[in-house]
Structure 1
Amino acid sequence: MRTAAKTGVVLAGLTASALLLAGCSSDGATATSADTNKADILLSYSQPHTDPFQNAENVGSMERFAELGYGTIPATNADRDASQQLTDIQTLINKGAKGLVISVGDADAIVPAIEYANDSSVPIVAIDEAPASGKIAMIVRADNVNMGALACEEMGSRVKAGDAVITLDGDPVTSNGRDRTNGFNDCMAEKYPDVKLVNVATEWDPAKAAAGIETAMNQYDNIAGIYNQSDATFFPTILDTLDSLGKLIPVGQPGHVVQVSVDASPMAMTAIRDGWLDAAVAQPMTDYIDYGVDYLTRAISGETFQAGETDHGSVIEERNGNLVDLLPTPVVTSENVDDPDLWGNKEFALEAFGVTK
């Protein structure tokens, strides 16, 4: 996890010369050669929907472009409309964007937009989410299957055979939703087969998560845990729902409903400190932005990349025809919740989520 950050969602990043990844090569003249003004190279960001995590990725990426001296076109937000994100990306390219960082809303629906960029020779770097296909310069994300498995280990160690666990599943049209569900479910089936899973389809909608929790609590009297695939999205909805049901009991007290989440947002960090959340698997959000922007600026300069180990503790793998830089994802508990290296403790994140430490 990177340690440098600025306030106000201004993220400290790496210069291209400081970040030398395994297996990189350069093809011919660069777009940032001496006779090219970087301010004339327009970059932008495509956001799939609105939540504090996505907003921070958007603003941080755009500010990073500006810090590096590139020109920008205002970022777009598709507001959960997959067809709108396709249109947004095409529009940004038609406006002159020479490179884009995107977060994918619908892994399949986004493909025509990526193919449009490919035909237009405009490099794209995807952060956090992965498209189903289309040529991407680099995908920068966590290993979400492993994040689900890590959450499973935390949950499995805290519940017992015969218990039931609610899983708030993300939208299956997103790679993160599928991977976090599969990683958790497969691990539970293998290691904790006597724990019943009650899957709730949320589509990343907090209202659907709340309704699913209420339904499950009414249907089963042995709910012992909740697996939350995005605490950046679902807090404080879960806490409010449990409170309304009389089930919000602190960690370590009889009747406590074990909670394990993914993201480790500032809200989750507060919940761990306050004794409501047992553990969270942390997304490396600052790294998404720093490395995402760095890969993009190098791609528009003609660099290509190869699979292999990096110098920042990750591994680049080939998946579905694209390279993916899989960043480390630490588990946060009461023992390490105050670690300043965790993104949920950084000033920009606290401001973006409106949380005080």
Structure 2
Amino acid sequence: MISKRTLGHMALAATVAASLIACGKKEEAKPAAAAPAASELTIAYITNGNTNEGWTLINGGAKKAGTVPGVKFIELAAEKGELSKQLAIVEDMITRKVNAIAIAPVDSAGIAPAVSKALAAGIPVIAVDTGITGANITSYVATDNIKAANVQGKWAAEQIQDGDTVIYVTGDLGQSTGQERKKGFVDALNEVRKNVKIVEVPTTWDQTMAQNGVESALRANPKAKVIACAWDGGALGAKAALMAAGKKPGAVLIAGFDGSPGGLDMMKDGWQQANAAQMLAKIGEVGVQTAIAAAKGEKVEARIDTGSFLVLPANVDKFATDSGVGQFMKVKAK
């Protein structure tokens, strides 16, 4: 006969065994740790604070890409285009542990320390429109500025003779975009015209600076044949300078760069004769799409060229329609 004490021990053992079995089953049913769901992705898009038409389109493309399901899109801007403020934004995004950063740097070299810190924290960084020097970024999404500016420079060379004067309105030469566009233009111009005078008007992507600089350049060089600009805001400034000097449309040829609504309106009005046009909305859209892909751990290309197109009066309407820029133009495409 089994004693009550023995029966008690047996019952306790059975209870413990049952508990262990239950625990074992629970552990076996527990799924393995899953990768972060798409709904957990936070993408920061940090623009440079520029508010011209070109950047309105780029930022619009970025915002469109950020509306896909499963992505929390944060759009931020460096107030007044100040590097210190953009650095602070990047630091904040690192603290918030976003999944990827797409950034249009205010200063290509100055932003590098903060970008390197983000990369070290495992956050992919995509440069949008403007490159970053001094940091091994994940990808650079932009127009091939040198290639597009080569086309602009070649066009300008075909409009002049050796010994003529060309005014060139720069962008911010502290940024890779400004540097590349100047290099591409000057190299192509000099390849065709060995003896040409280039009068440089320095700006920091500021239209008023462009206008004032071109006014001074025209006073010193009244026989200038072409004004080439690193961006369409500069072309608008050049137009204002020519108007102030009493010039008619076409008296001095203007070559723009961007394919912005304002630049194409100038062409429709006879004030601009050529434009090295970017696919502006596409730059922002592909930039954020690349950031999302990198955040998911997908392999992305180190350099993505979003393309360019030489717009002339003969094809301006087609480009305006095909690129989507026409909807923002004052002078509607036919």
| TM-score (normalizing by structure 2) | 0.83
Offset of residue 285 of structure 1: 1.4
Offset of residue 70 of structure 1: 0.6
Can you list the C-alpha shifts for 1:161-205, whole angstroms capped at 9, x where unaligned?
A: 222111001111111100111111122222112221101111212
Q: 300, 303, 320: which is aligned to 1:324?
A: 303
1:200 and 2:209 correspond: no
Does the aligned pair in 1 maintain the 2:105–2:127 contact within 8 Å?
yes
Mind listing any 5+ residue stretches in structure 1 that lack a counterpart?
1-32, 307-322
Regions of 4+ moved over 3 Å = 33-37
How far, CA to CA, are the matches of 2:249 and 2:272 in structure 1? 8
| Equivalent runs, 1:54-69 vs 2, <5 Å | 54-69=55-70
How far, CA to CA, are the matches of 2:210 and 2:89 in structure 1? 29
Does the aligned pair in 1 maintain the 2:226–2:252 contact within 8 Å?
yes
SS of 2:225's partner is strand
SS of 1:67's partner is coil
| Equivalent runs, 1:1-357 vs 2, <5 Å | 36-51=36-51, 52-231=53-232, 233-247=233-247, 249-251=248-250, 256-306=251-301, 323-339=302-318, 340-345=321-326, 347=327, 350=328, 355=330, 357=332
Can you list the C-alpha shifts for 1:249-300, whole angstroms capped at 9, x where unaligned?
A: 233xxxx101111101111111111111000011111221232122111111
Can you list the C-alpha shifts for 1:122-176, whole angstroms capped at 9, x where unaligned?
A: 1111111100131222111111111221111111111222221110011111111
Does the aligned pair in 2 maintain the 1:38–1:71 contact within 8 Å?
no
How far, CA to CA, are the matches of 1:246 and 1:257 in structure 2? 11
Mind listing any 5+ residue stretches in structure 2 that lack a counterpart?
1-32
SS of 2:198's partner is strand
Identity score, percent: 25
Does the aligned pair in 2 maintain the 1:137–1:295 contact within 8 Å?
no
SS of 2:317's partner is coil
How far, CA to CA, are the matches of 1:176 and 1:84 in structure 2? 20
Structure 1 or 2: more helix by fraction? 2
How far, CA to CA, are the matches of 2:273 and 2:120 in structure 1? 48
Offset of residue 105 of structure 1: 1.5
How far, CA to CA, are the matches of 1:144 and 1:138 in structure 2? 16
SS of 1:275's partner is coil
Q: What is the one-letter code of the residue matched to 2:63? A: M
How far, CA to CA, are the matches of 1:328 and 1:55 in structure 2? 18
- Which range is displaced more, 288-297 or 98-107? 288-297
Task: Count the aligned residue pairs.
Answer: 297
How far, CA to CA, are the matches of 1:103 and 1:355 in structure 2? 28
How far, CA to CA, are the matches of 1:324 and 1:173 in structure 2? 21
Computed over aligned residues only, the root mean square deviation of the Cα atoms, in angstroms, reads: 2.0
How far, CA to CA, are the matches of 2:304 and 2:177 in structure 1? 15
Mark the CA change 1:74 to 1:289 in structure 2 (over 3 Å): closer, same or farther: closer
- Which range is displaced more, 184-193 or 167-176? 184-193
Does the aligned pair in 2 maintain the 1:48–1:77 contact within 8 Å?
yes
Does the aligned pair in 2 maintain the 1:137–1:304 contact within 8 Å?
no
How far, CA to CA, are the matches of 1:150 and 1:212 in structure 2? 24
